[in-house]
Amino acid sequence: MTATSPSHTGITDTITPPPRAVRKHYTRQRLLRSATKLLLTDGYTATSIDRIAEHAGFARSEFFGHFDHLQQIGHDVADRLTRHAIRRIGCFQPRSDDQLVTTLALWASILITRPGWIRLELELAALGTASRAQVIWRLNQLRNEVRDLLTSSTHQPDPCIDLDLTIPFLLSAIVGMATEDTGDLQVARAKSRDKVEFVLRTAGIS
């Protein structure tokens, strides 16, 4: 990646990041990709620093040039997954009850067929108070995004609806479906739509 900046002569100079910075970024991304694959496939307790480094094609010492411990990279992976989910949710602008249910059901079906993320969060939450606080912070970010979706300008629920109760109930239903561990995307979509619609109908949103 290059950047440009004006020089004192008025001619734009091209600034190239030093090779070391490029290599550092590349190495970190390789480690994160390997950690993501292993953590979501095998879980936190079954994944070691040595396995991540080996999978990424580096020595163990390279890992510690970017991360202090396994818990740190675990939270970094979970942070990235949360940001991606929030971006995906934020892209949707449902214009009807049916579109709202479809949007949430699609997101739920993705989680159901890839339960490793939820398992990772549960394992991280069990590591202690500080680690649990980070998991709760990410969950609150997701709750806020779902709240924004439910109260978007194109879809206004009844003001009497208790969203503080509905949103955790909805997320809990999705987590419950994910722990059933189905790999069939069509089944997951049908199941998630039925349950999402049930939660929203019970709350009076759809």
DSSP state, residue 183? -
Q: Which helix (H) or strand (E) holds 13?
A: strand 12-15
pLDDT of res. 14: 64
Are both 133 and 188 inside the same structural domain?
yes
Higher pLDDT, 16 or 3: 16
* pLDDT, average across residues 100-117: 70
pLDDT digits (tens, 9 = 90+) for 143-193: 888 777 777 755 555 555 566 656 665 666 555 544 455 445 455 556 666
Domain boundary among 67, 91, 123: 67
The CATH number linked to 37 is: 1.10.10.60
Are both 26 and 76 inside the same structural domain?
no
Are both 40 and 22 inside the same structural domain?
yes
Residue 54 has pLDDT above 80, yes or no: yes
Q: What is the rounded distance in angstroms from the CA atom of residue 135 to the CA atom of residue 164?
A: 18
Are both 145 and 196 inside the same structural domain?
yes
Q: Which of 203, 197, 157 is nearest to 174 (CA)?
A: 197
DSSP 48-87: -HHHHHHHHT--HHHHTTT-SSHHHHHHHHHHHHHHHHHH
The CATH number linked to 197 is: 1.10.357
Are both 61 and 87 inside the same structural domain?
no
Are both 17 and 79 inside the same structural domain?
no
Residue 84 has pLDDT above 50, yes or no: yes
15: confidence class by pLDDT, cuts 50, 70, 90: low
pLDDT digits (tens, 9 = 90+) for 118-132: 889 889 999 999 999
Are both 54 and 151 inside the same structural domain?
no
Q: Say if residues 159 and 100 touch (Cβ distance below 8 Å).
A: no
133: confidence class by pLDDT, cuts 50, 70, 90: very high
* pLDDT, average across residues 73-87: 90
The two tokens of residue 147 are 């709240």
Helix crossing, 19-42 with 70-91: angle to 10°?
A: 90
Helix crossing, 163-178 with 185-203: angle to 10°?
A: 160
Q: Is the pTM of this model over 0.85?
A: no
Q: What percent of the chain has pLDDT over 90?
A: 33
Q: What is the rounded distance in angstroms from the CA atom of residue 26 to the CA atom of residue 32?
A: 10
Q: Domain range spanning residue 151?
A: 70-203
pLDDT of res. 182: 46
- 72: phi then psi, degrees, rounded to nearest 5: -65, -50
Give the rounded distance of the alpha carbon of 6 from its chain centre. Answer: 39
